Amino acid sequence: MSEARLFGTWPGEIVVCDTTADLYSRAAEIFVSTFAEAVERRGRATVALSGGGTPRGLYTLLAEPQWREKIEWNRLQVFWGDERFVPPTEQESNFRLANETLLSRVPIPAENVHRFRTESGTAAEVAAAYEREIRSTIPNQEIPAFDLNLLGIGTDAHTASLFPFSPALREENRLVISHYVEQLQAERLTFTVSLINHSRLTLFLVAGPEKAAILAEVLTGKHDSHRLPAQLVRPVGGRLVWLVDAAAGRRIWHISRAE
């Protein structure tokens, strides 16, 4: 698997993998190494999973024996960086995606799986409860730091459920919010920028030719975070890695190939 590391002025490290399969293998390596480092330093690891379609390949891979056996699942606390305001059994539930492809296939204790309890109240109540659950699971930090925060990017440059021109982009006090997304005509639940930016490692997974234009604009275009929310992801002290396949990375210049 060859990798191309990109160097430029944009935030973070950009790794271009030849194929989508290479991207998932690389993502699994990063997941496992981040887990191992967190367990060595703090005795456990905390991860916020992303939704949508891209991470399916990673979750499926992590459930396979050669990767599954590298994780002590009882030491992993799993959250979601965003969720649709739907029951956990719905097709569009981010919890359902990760549960079907990964969590139901590995020996992770039920109490380590922290899903948005979308059935337990209004969207605002669910978001507030989730923030409390994060704070009680990752205590004694003004803004809890996840060891790994997985993110995707939409073709409109949204990430998590932070959409262009949304008031949610300017939230500075809360860590988790609910908001009605005009573009979707639907309620969403999401980490705020502040919580995302306190992760120790933020890993974007970007695959497919349909993401090439927006990725180039986000990374090399003018800074316009209101229109391009993914530009708001600038970790405070943590690492930022953009893991992209060649199709998504084809419009980024200055590739310096590292074989």
Binding to ligand 6PG in span 34-53, by CB under 6 A: 50-53
Q: What is the number of the residue whose Cβ is closest to ligand 6PG?
A: 152
| Total residues in contact with ligand 6PG, by rule CB under 6 A | 14
CB of residue 251 to ligand 6PG, shortest distance in Å: 17
Cross-strand pairs, 40: none
Of the pair 53, 109, the CB lying nearest ligand 6PG is at: 53
Q: Is 164 in the site for ligand 6PG (CB under 6 A)?
A: no
Residues 53, 55: Cα–Cα separation, whole Å: 6
Binding mask 51-70 for ligand 6PG (x = CB under 6 A): xxxx----------------
Residue 94 touches ligand 6PG, criterion: CB under 6 A = yes
Q: Contact between 231 and ligand 6PG (CB under 6 A)?
A: no
Query: Per residue, what are the HEC states of the chain?
Result: CCEEEECCCCCCEEEEECCHHHHHHHHHHHHHHHHHHHHHHHCCEEEEECCCCCCHHHHHHHCCHHHHCCCCHHHEEEEECEEECCCCCCCCCHHHHHHHHCHHHCCCCHHHECCCCCCCCCHHHHHHHHHHHHHHHCCCCCCCCCCEEEECCCCCCCECCECCCCHHHHCCCCCEEEEEECCCCEEEEEECHHHHCCCCEEEEEECCHHHHHHHHHHHHCCCCCCCCHHHHCCCCCCEEEEEEECCCCCCCCCEEEEC
Taking the complex as a whole, how short is the minimal distance between the CB of residue 52 and ligand 6PG, in angstroms? 3
Does 249 interact with ligand 6PG (rule: CB under 6 A)?
no
Q: Are 196 and 123 in contact (CB under 8 A)?
A: no
Interaction of residue 160 with ligand 6PG, rule CB under 6 A: yes
Point out which span in 9-17, 22-30, 131-139, 159-167 binds ligand 6PG (CB under 6 A).
Answer: 159-167
- Comparison of 9 and 156: residue with beta carbon closer to ligand 6PG: 156
Stretch 118-157: interaction string toward ligand 6PG, x if CB under 6 A: ----------------------------------xxx---
Answer yes or no whether residue 159 interacts with ligand 6PG by CB under 6 A.
yes
Q: According to CB under 6 A, which one of 82, 147, 171, 245 is a site residue for ligand 6PG?
A: 82
Residues that bind ligand 6PG (CB under 6 A): 50-54, 82, 94, 152-154, 158-161
